[in-house]
């Protein structure tokens, strides 16, 4: 079974061609937009997906993950004339800083968005805090989507495998588990070095994103999302 996720972009922070890493996930009858960086909004417009989004999930507050969120919210309010869009922030610190950011840009946030925690919006989505594992000053989290037939873990940006993956019993209890994890092909303090994910290849079904496939070393064993899960393959 292939998980119902399509990447709108799967490149690094400055990769305009591959786009900011963001995904459209169809889960429990809803379309989840995971992150909304500065290249995401124009691609959503191009693909006619603005009105299909039911909820946005934010992993952290770098520009390649929230850089066009306010534009998306404005479009849905003024052009699509839709009600405020639910926007999920997984931890209290992430929630507070996201609210401050949107308030600075947009004024009355509630006109455009309903900020909330995942457990308030849906019991099948859980946040896994990863604060300071991407940038020392940055609140962040991974998200786990649960269903009777599959579970999906989306890492966000993190400098190591999502810590919960170190618990073999947790992995066993969440099978089948599909993991979409940021990867780096050089060691960096802010992203997960690809070889650190090798131990999990036999335990979960795993793909890497937030990278350029052309930079993958010969012999890389981490499958990448860029072709198999491209938004070009999305079907309504």
Domains of the chain: 5-229 (3.60.15.10)
pLDDT confidence band for 98 (50 / 70 / 90): very high
pLDDT number for residue 76: 98
Q: Identify the CA nearest to 204 among candidates 156, 162, 147, 142.
A: 162
Specify the pairing of strand 5-9 against strand 22-27: antiparallel
Put the strands of the sheet holding 55-58 in their side by side order: 5-9, 22-27, 30-34, 55-58, 85-89, 113-116
Cβ atoms of 167 and 81 closer than 8 Å: no
Residue 144 bridge partners (DSSP): 126, 153
pLDDT confidence band for 38 (50 / 70 / 90): very high
> Which residues lie closer than 8 Å to 189 by C-beta, 6 or more apart?
159
pLDDT tens digits along 133-175 = 999 999 999 999 999 999 999 999 999 999 999 999 999 999 9
The residue that leads in pLDDT, 75 or 1, is 75
Note the pTM of the prediction, 2 decimals.
0.97
Per DSSP, the three-state class of 200 is: helix
**With pLDDT > 70 as the criterion, what percentage of the chain qualifies?**
100
The CA distance from 96 to 81, in Å, is 26
pLDDT at residue 229 above 90?
yes
pLDDT number for residue 1: 79
Preceding peptide of 176 cis, ω within 30°:
yes
Q: State the average pLDDT over residues 191-217.
A: 97
The CA distance from 149 to 147, in Å, is 5
Residue owning tokens 């849905």:
76
Q: State the average pLDDT over residues 186-208.
A: 97
Q: State the average pLDDT over residues 43-52.
A: 97
Q: What is the DSSP string of 111-146?
A: GTEEEE-HHHH-TTEEEEE-TTSS-TT---EEEEEE
Q: Identify the CA nearest to 181 among candidates 196, 167, 168, 171.
A: 196
User: Residue 51 corresponds to which tokens in the numbers above?
Assistant: 């009105």
pLDDT at residue 25 above 80?
yes
Residue 208 bridge partners (DSSP): 181, 224
**With pLDDT > 90 as the criterion, what percentage of the chain qualifies?**
98
Backbone angles phi, psi at 43, to 5 degrees: -70, -35
The CA distance from 44 to 53, in Å, is 10
Measure the CA dihedral 131/132/137/139, to 10°: -10
Q: State the average pLDDT over residues 48-56.
A: 97
Cβ atoms of 70 and 61 closer than 8 Å: no
């Amino acid at each position: 079974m292939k998980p119902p996720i399509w990447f709108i972009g799967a490149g690094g922070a400055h990769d305009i061609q591959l786009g900011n890493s963001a995904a459209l996930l169809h889960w429990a009858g809803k379309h989840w937009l995971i992150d909304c960086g500065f290249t995401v909004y124009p691609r959503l417009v191009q693909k006619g997906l603005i009105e299909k989004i039911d909820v946005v999930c934010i992993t952290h507050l770098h520009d390649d993950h929230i850089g066009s969120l306010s534009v998306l919210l404005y479009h849905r309010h003024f052009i699509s004339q839709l009600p405020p869009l639910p926007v999920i922030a997984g931890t209290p610190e992430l929630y507070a800083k996201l609210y401050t950011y949107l308030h600075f840009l947009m004024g009355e946030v509630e006109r455009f968005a309903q900020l909330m925690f995942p457990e308030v919006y849906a019991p099948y989505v859980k946040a896994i805090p990863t604060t300071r594992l991407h940038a020392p000053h940055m609140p962040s989290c991974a998200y786990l989507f649960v269903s009777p037939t599959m579970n999906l873990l989306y890492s966000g940006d993190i400098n190591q495998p999502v810590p919960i993956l170190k618990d073999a019993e947790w992995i066993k209890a969440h099978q089948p588990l599909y993991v979409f994890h940021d990867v780096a092909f050089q060691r960096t303090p802010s992203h997960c070095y690809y070889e650190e994910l090798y131990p999990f290849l036999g335990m979960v079904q795993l793909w890497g994103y937030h990278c350029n496939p052309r930079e993958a070393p010969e012999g890389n064993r981490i499958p990448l999302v860029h072709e198999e899960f491209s938004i070009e393959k999305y079907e309504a």
